[in-house]
Amino acid sequence: MMRALCLTGDPVADKLLTDDPFALLTGMLLDQQFAMELAFAGPQKIATRMDGFSITKIAESDIEEFVELCVTKPAIHRYGGSMGRRVHELALHVVENYDGDTEGIWTAGRPKPDGPEVLKRLKALPGFGEQKAKIFLALLGKQRGVQPKGWREAAGAYGDRGSRRSIADVIDAKTLVEVRAFKKAAKAAAKAG
């Protein structure tokens, strides 16, 4: 089940995320201390400024020039400089380890990787920790049809059916509001406890 993504509220940005796995991976990287929909719109900002979104172009670009492109207003993130460096580092990692084939993270190898292996590969990416990797695995499973054996268990609660816990559960404006409410309640509970 491969659905057209609706993560940003901008049809052009969502089409890029739907069509380009590295754009989607980049959006997940940027989803940190920043509104979800703005983080996932970051790849489209890069695409506009680079005359297209290309993992190879990003990886081969001069780091300082790429960072400058990322901090140009409106910046790709509230921390445009450090996130620009992370995007560049992520592109280099995928080029060096997967020959620039982002989908290789979840498809490369014989036998095909299972959910725990995909999670392990995601956690090995620059800027991806345990939680970010689990959310991205859930996003792949729920919205991109990438469902290796054991993916739901590997994604933890983010893989739960019907949850409204992360960007993996955002399919329209209504679910975006529901996820935001869940995150706000979870944050309040963490502060109180």
* Whole-prediction pTM: 0.95
Q: What is the dihedral of CA 18, 91, 107, 25, to 10 degrees?
A: -40
> For position 186, what pLDDT does the model report?
86
Phi-psi region of 166 (alpha: psi -120 to 50; beta: other; left: phi over 0): beta
Full pLDDT tens readout for the chain, 193 residues: 577 999 999 999 999 999 999 999 999 999 999 999 999 999 999 999 999 999 999 999 999 999 999 999 999 999 999 999 999 999 999 999 999 999 999 999 888 999 999 999 999 999 999 999 999 999 999 999 999 999 999 999 999 999 999 999 999 999 999 999 998 888 888 888 7
Long-range Cβ contact pairs of 153-157 (< 8 A, separation 24 or more): 153/115, 153/116, 154/114, 154/115, 154/116, 154/118, 154/119, 155/115, 155/119
Kindly provide the b/e burial profile for residues 117-153, where b requires at least 16 CB atoms within 10 angstroms of the residue's own CB.
Answer: bbbebbbebebbeeebbbbbbbbbbbbbebbbeebbe
Fold of 11-158: Endonuclease III; domain 1 (1.10.340)
Distance set, CA 131 to CA 69, 123, 127, 148, 174 (Å): 28, 9, 11, 18, 24
> For position 190, what pLDDT does the model report?
86
> For position 110, what pLDDT does the model report?
85
